[in-house]
A and B are shown apart, each in its own frame.
Chain A
Amino acid sequence: MRASLRRAERARTLRGLGLALPLILFTFVFFLLPIAGMLVKSVQNGPMPDILPQTSALLQPWRATEPRTLPDEAVFAAFAEELRTAARNRTLPELASRLNFENAGYRSLLMATARRLPETPAGSWRDTLVGLNPQWGEVAIWAALGRASPRLTEGYLLAALDHRRDDNDNVQPIDPSRAVYVAALTRTLEISAIVTFLCLVLAYPLAYRLATLPESTANLLMILVLLPFWTSLLVRTASWLVILQREGPLNEALQWLGVIGQPLDLVFNRPGVLIAMTHVLLPFMVLPIYSVMKGIPPNYMRAATSLGAPFFTAFRRVYLPLSLPGVTAGCLLVFILSIGYYITPLLIGGPNDQMVSALIAFLTLQTLNWGLAAALGAVLLVITVALYLVYTRVVGTDGMKLG
């Protein structure tokens, strides 16, 4: 009997699994795998251990020496040998690109040296290389090679946080004039927080009104809320560009009404980004709050007033706590979505409004520094997950309702 029960149950379990399978596969292949890939990429060092295996191995003990002096002749000899092999195998450009991330002049140094490298050293290999380019006599290039030699590196993650290892491999903040990533990260978080706040301020009263209106009117208004979803993000952003510009309808209307004397600067700056992003993300705040409010029976507010609470007290002590799960879900949704925003700040923002995603796109598409792009993504992921954990710790997962 137990076996037949198991058989019967198994068919049902399989059927259930079959329905969910496309989603599970999709999530795995197009969500979890790329994230894992990104995390791996953010700590993967590059091709040097494969292209210069011996040099890489020899540089390891050297990196432990303190204070740093030039490596000994064996390292120079191995390097010269492997450099020639790499040039012959056409793997050198790959290595040169990797080293160029350490210092922008290292690509040409490596390529030129390989071109002019003699078959046999004139004296020691050290003197020969220094003779070709005096940079080979400095610790800096060897420290850079040393950093590129292990298979894994924390260099990209450090760079994503505006830090680097100096020639003695000590972690140092980079020159403030070249620091961009931490500023971009904090700017991203700041913009996301402000947008989330603005959405909440606009969405809460709206959702309350929608939830208390008769069904037919509420449905009509809900269509207005959802209407932006039926337009492409790019079109919406472009229309904001038109509306907000100096000679745009908004400025003209305000001037005509006499509210302002001079047109306001609303594009290519922070207010423009905030306005456009708030508009685009508003439905994501309205929907969860509305659906939670819809589930609050109107009798609760009536009960609270009949028990002696004025409207505001009744609202604060009964309605607000009951609607919080929707607020929680909406805030989390909007915040996470805005952290990844790219097009809107790119089109409407100025140079000081670019968010991390824009930098990631730049690193991925222009400089091809995928390691750093992945590291920035990883930092963003960690921040998001940390915020989510803090959030669920504070409100509890059952205190959040998406619909």
Chain B
Amino acid sequence: MNDAFVTFEKVRKTYDGRTLVVSDLDLVIARGEFLTMLGPSGSGKTTCLMMLAGFERPTAGRITLGGRPIDGVPPHKRDIGVVFQNYALFPHMTVVENVAFPLSVRKLSAAAADRKARAALGMVHLQHLADRRPSQLSGGQQQRVALARALVFEPVLILMDEPLGALDKQLREAMQYEIKHLHERLGVTIVYVTHDQSEALTMSDRVAVFNEGRIQQLSTPKELYERPQNAFVAGFIGENNRVDGTLKRLAGGDCEVETAAGPLRCEAIGDRSPGARKLISIRPERVRIVADGAAYANVMPARVEEVIYHGDHLRLRLSTMKVDDFIAKVPNAESGHSFAAGQELRIGFNTADCLALDAPG
């Protein structure tokens, strides 16, 4: 994970000459890395992928692959495997012909291409369907064929554009593991585009969160979730409760933020100057119901507004700190819990779980 394999240097892209779809993007992807570009639609992530694949040209800036700039290299000479949304399997060819396509355009003999294609299908456990048409396959099977086709010519880099978007939830999870294991086994570099945060978190070495043409944060999944760098990332990845406040003073590594319901001890991220407007983010699963009033840096009174039963956990909608949609997730670990609307209780959370981010705008 140390040598730069793909780099974006000050890359800009605009379609209409007025708004930037991608603005001044810098990104370094290491050899063998699984990097996910995550973001809402229109955030520029797919445009980045298409520029890397060669279907779009950057308006300004430079993209390099393996140390060489690739702006002048046409897509078919880039040696990049692309897995498309909706798979783009050729309907007039059989499965094995599809997989052999990149080999046959590389002038491999028909027999060798067929042999290699079947081996690649074996890798995704589909050798028994080699002679079917793509339309006779289920969505998950088509996805695996598309994967085999992108892998079979041993490209240096594989791009995936929301490849699991069309699958149902269970299949999507199974495919996530399958892609991850293929990545581990083959050691190829993968750039993966998705708007699904759970996909990004489970599969990636690093995640680049896109919004409005910029990378908001580039870090490991764990860090992305535990220490989001700004309000957008905190809001986009996972659930969070938000409380507005003003930074009062720094206290060691932590800080004290004045909110409408009194001061909270938080971890300061971004602007550390007193008086800065802050948005405090607290994950619902880090909120505890306090029984004895001890061991938490922050303790607040709260009133239960609604109890939602989720099987493995309960969601409590609480009124606290002048908001009435504060969510707490309580694991359904012991059967003794009993909550009811109208009940008064106290909630607690620690400094490390209470992030004081810069307020947007």
Contacts and interface: CB of A to CB of B under 8 A. Distances in A.
B90 A308 contact: no
A397 interface: no
Contact of A322 (B54, B84, B91): B91
Interface in A300-339: 300, 302-311, 313-314, 317-318, 321-322
B101 A304 contact: yes
A37 interface: no
Nearest to A300: B88
A308 B102 contact: yes
B75 A306 contact: yes
A304 B102 CA distance: 8
A303 B82 contact: yes
Q: Is the interface of A mostly helix, strand, loop or mixed?
A: helix
Contacts of B54: 305-306
A299 B49 CA distance: 14
A299 B105 contact: no
The listed residue with most A CB atoms (<10 A of its CB), out of B54, B80, B101, B106, is: B101
A297 interface: yes
Contacts of A314: 76
B81 to A, nearest CB: 7
Contact of B88 (A302, A310, A311): A302
B121 to A, nearest CB: 15
24 contacts: A297-B86, A300-B90, A302-B82, A303-B88, A303-B90, A304-B101, A305-B54, A305-B75, A305-B76, A306-B54, A306-B78, A306-B81, A307-B82, A307-B150, A308-B79, A308-B102, A308-B105, A309-B102, A309-B105, A310-B74, A310-B76, A318-B90, A322-B91, A322-B92
Closest 8 A-B residue pairs measured CB to CB? A303-B88, A307-B102, A306-B82, A299-B88, A309-B105, A305-B75, A305-B76, A299-B84
B85 interface: yes
Contacts of A317: 101, 105
Contact of A307 (B74, B86, B91, B101): B101
Nearest to B153: A308
Contacts of A307: 76, 81-82, 101-102, 105, 149-150, 153
Given A302-B55, A303-B82, A317-B101, A308 B106 contact: yes
Contacts of B88: 297, 299-300, 302-303
A313 B54 CA distance: 17
Interface string A205-217: 0000000000000
Nearest to B55: A302
Contacts of A318: 90
B16 to A, nearest CB: 13
A303 B93 CA distance: 14
Contact of A302 (B77, B84, B106, B149): B84
B85 A299 contact: yes
Interface residues of A, number: 19
B193 interface: no
Contacts of B84: 299, 302-303
Given A317-B101, A321-B92, A322-B92, A306 B86 contact: no
A311 B77 CA distance: 11
A318 B90 CA distance: 7
A302 to B, nearest CB: 6
B222 to A, nearest CB: 32
B96 interface: no
A321 B98 CA distance: 14
Interface residues of B, number: 26
Interface string B42-73: 00000000000111000000000000000000
A306 B82 CA distance: 6
Interface string B308-343: 000000000000000000000000000000000000
B72 to A, nearest CB: 15
Contacts of B76: 305-311, 314
Contacts of B101: 304, 307, 309, 317
A240 B78 CA distance: 51
Contacts of B81: 306-307
A313 B76 CA distance: 10
Contacts of A297: 86, 88
Contacts of B150: 307
Contacts of A299: 84-86, 88
The listed residue with most B CB atoms (<10 A of its CB), out of A297, A305, A309, is: A305
B107 to A, nearest CB: 10
B90 A306 contact: no
Nearest to B159: A306
The listed residue with most B CB atoms (<10 A of its CB), out of A299, A302, A304, A307, is: A307
A299 B88 CA distance: 6
A321 B91 CA distance: 10
Given A300-B88, A306-B53, 9 more contacts: A299-B86, A302-B75, A306-B75, A306-B76, A306-B78, A308-B106, A314-B76, A322-B91, A322-B92
A336 B53 CA distance: 45
A353 to B, nearest CB: 40
A302 B88 CA distance: 9
B109 to A, nearest CB: 16
Contacts of B55: 302, 305-306
A317 B92 CA distance: 10
Contacts of B78: 306
Interface string B123-152: 000000000000000000000000001100
A317 B101 CA distance: 9
Contacts of A305: 54-55, 74-76
Contacts of B102: 307-309
B92 A306 contact: no
B126 to A, nearest CB: 18
A318 B102 CA distance: 12
Contacts of B153: 307-308
A300 B149 CA distance: 13
A288 to B, nearest CB: 18
B147 to A, nearest CB: 13
Contacts of B91: 322
Nearest to A314: B76
Interface in B88-119: 88, 90-92, 101-102, 105-106
A118 B153 CA distance: 101
Contacts of B90: 300, 303-304, 318, 322
Contacts of A313: 105
Given A299-B88, A300-B88, A322-B91, A306 B80 contact: yes
Interface in A189-208: none
Contacts of A308: 76-77, 79, 102, 105-106, 153
A304 B84 CA distance: 11
A304 B93 CA distance: 12
Interface string B14-37: 000000000000000000000000
